Each structure stands twice: as C-alpha cells, then as structure tokens.
C-alpha cells in the first residue's frame, strides 16, 4: 500500500495493441479533484505509464481510456495510507512511551490512535466528574494526570486482550457507580466493553485510588 507523499508510476498494459493505440489517464483524488498526468509508451502502445504523486491519504481512482486497437476503459482504485498519526483529532491522556512502560512490551503501531480513542472513552465515563483542569480541559493535578494515563493505557490493553475495541461481542449487564458506569457480560468469562461511560475494571480501579478531593466521582466499589 502506498503512503501519502509517494511518487509512483501508474502503469497500464494493453492487449491487443498496435500503432493506433493511445491511452489517456484521468486521476480523481480523494477530495474529488481531477488531474490528467502525461502518459507515454516506449513499446509501441502495449505498455503506458504516467507519473503520479499521492498528495493525500484516501482512495484514489485511476481511470484509463484506451482508443484505437485495444479500445477499453480501465478503472484502478488505490488506497493510500496517511502519515502515521496524521489527522488524529482529540487529546490523549497518555503517550506511547507511557503505554509501552505500562505494558512492559512494544506498543501496537497504531497506539497513538488507540490512546486518543481510549481518552475519549475515559471522557465519556467522567462526563459529570469534577477535577481541576487547565484552559484546554486537561487535568492539572499530577496524581490525576498519572491516574488518567494509567486508565487509558488499561483501556488500550483491554482492547488488545479482548480484541473487541467496539464492545459488541457480548450481552452486557450494566452496573452504575455514580457518574461512572461499568458493565460485564452475562457470562463471567465475557469481556467488558469500553465506551458510552463503561470502563474495564483496571481502568476504573485507577480512578478509585484517587482521593475524593482530587477527583469527585461519587462512585462506590462494585464487586465483579
């Protein structure tokens, strides 16, 4: 799979072909912009090439139109990967270094995205919680910062253990704990989902260890 910024040679092989064969390429970028790179052949019309730069991530459409002998229309769809971490929106309560240290293992390659998603899940669970923040809404107390980092790393670790980042694999029974809600499947071996205010046990425990004057949750310990 090509990456954004790659300079490539688009290629088309035509059969049958002869001196009357001609090929034109129209490229549609992911945002709908059209371009017509210059095409050329060095073997009498069998192979046609055109220079192309993938300037954006997404799905590109390459539409070749052949006239003369071998007349046809050929469509090629090319998926282009973004620069890792590019386009991520939202904050993260932990770095990939913190995740690696907590896992005591190399983090997944998409760890930055997972940490952002885990931070959103934590925000959902803490929607009515009270704690000190800066103007960007990030916690300012070092203990709260550490607990949030631990919690989001626990969420990412949970996703890795369960393979269910969306939390859709089981029937869930909800247990309310103040503004934080935790759930588990009706089967004791089921994985707990994360999202919509739900947290896995280790992440919830990281928050419960904070003194109430630093993080007011109104939650009580719930047996699992």
> Across the chain, what does the average pLDDT equal?
85
Residue 5 pLDDT level (bands cut at 50, 70, 90): very high
Mean pLDDT of 20-44: 97
Residue 167 confidence (pLDDT): 54
Within 10 angstroms of residue 59's Cβ, the number of other Cβ atoms is 11
Residue 165 confidence (pLDDT): 65
Q: Dihedral sign, CA of 208, 215, 197, 122?
A: negative
Tokens representing residue 30 in the block: 């992911």
Mean pLDDT of 125-135: 91
Residue 218 confidence (pLDDT): 53
Residue 86 pLDDT level (bands cut at 50, 70, 90): confident
- CA 223 – CA 155 distance, rounded (Å): 19
pLDDT at position 223 over 80: no
The end-to-end CA distance of the chain, in Å, is 44
Q: Which residue has the higher pLDDT, 190 or 138?
A: 138
Q: At a CB cut-off of 8 Å and minimum separation 6, what does 137 contact? A: 91
Instruction: Look at the block and give the residue holding tokens 């993260």.
Output: 92
- CA 78 – CA 33 distance, rounded (Å): 15
- CA 130 – CA 51 distance, rounded (Å): 56
- CA 124 – CA 169 distance, rounded (Å): 20
Whole-number percent of the chain with pLDDT over 90: 69
Q: Which residue has the higher pLDDT, 162 or 39?
A: 39
Most confident option among 65-74, 105-114, 176-185: 65-74
Runs of H (alpha helix) within the chain: 96-103, 111-125, 142-162, 201-208
Assess contact for 125 and 198: CB atoms under 8 A: yes
Least confident of 98-102, 119-123, 160-164: 160-164
**CA atoms within 13 A of residue 134's CA, in its CB half-sphere:** 8
Put the strands of the sheet holding 58-67 in their side by side order: 34-35, 22-28, 58-67, 72-80
Cα–Cα separations (whole angstroms), residue 44 to 115, 129, 165, 186 = 54, 71, 53, 69
Question: What angle is formed at CA 182 by the lines to CA 106 and CA 165, rounded to 5 degrees?
Answer: 40
- CA 148 – CA 91 distance, rounded (Å): 12
- Environment class of 43 (CB within 10 Å of its CB; exposed 0-12, middle 13-18, buried 19+): exposed
- CA 5 – CA 2 distance, rounded (Å): 9
Mean pLDDT of 123-141: 92
- What residue ranges define each of the domains in the chain, with the CATH number in brackets? 7-80 (2.60.40.10), 96-208 (no CATH)
């Amino acid at each position: 799979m090509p990456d954004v910024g790659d300079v490539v040679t688009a290629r088309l092989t035509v059969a049958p072909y002869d001196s009357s064969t001609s090929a034109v390429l129209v490229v549609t970028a992911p945002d709908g912009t059209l371009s017509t790179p210059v095409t050329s052949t060095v073997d009498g019309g069998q192979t046609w090439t055109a220079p192309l730069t993938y300037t954006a991530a997404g799905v590109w459409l390459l539409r070749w139109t052949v006239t003369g002998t071998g007349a046809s229309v050929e469509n090629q769809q090319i998926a282009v990967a973004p620069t890792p971490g590019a386009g991520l929106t939202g904050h993260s309560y932990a770095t990939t270094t913190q995740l690696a240290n907590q896992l005591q293992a190399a983090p997944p390659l998409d760890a930055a995205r997972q940490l952002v998603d885990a931070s959103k899940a934590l925000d959902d669970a803490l929607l009515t919680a009270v704690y000190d923040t800066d103007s960007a809404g990030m916690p300012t107390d070092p203990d709260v910062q550490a607990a949030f980092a631990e919690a989001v790393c626990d969420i990412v670790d949970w996703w890795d253990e369960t393979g269910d980042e969306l939390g859709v694999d089981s029937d869930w029974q909800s247990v309310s704990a103040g503004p934080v809600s935790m759930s588990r499947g009706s089967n004791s071996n089921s994985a707990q989902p994360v999202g919509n205010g739900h947290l896995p046990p280790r992440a919830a425990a990281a928050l419960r260890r904070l003194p109430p004057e630093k993080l007011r949750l109104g939650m009580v310990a719930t047996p699992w």
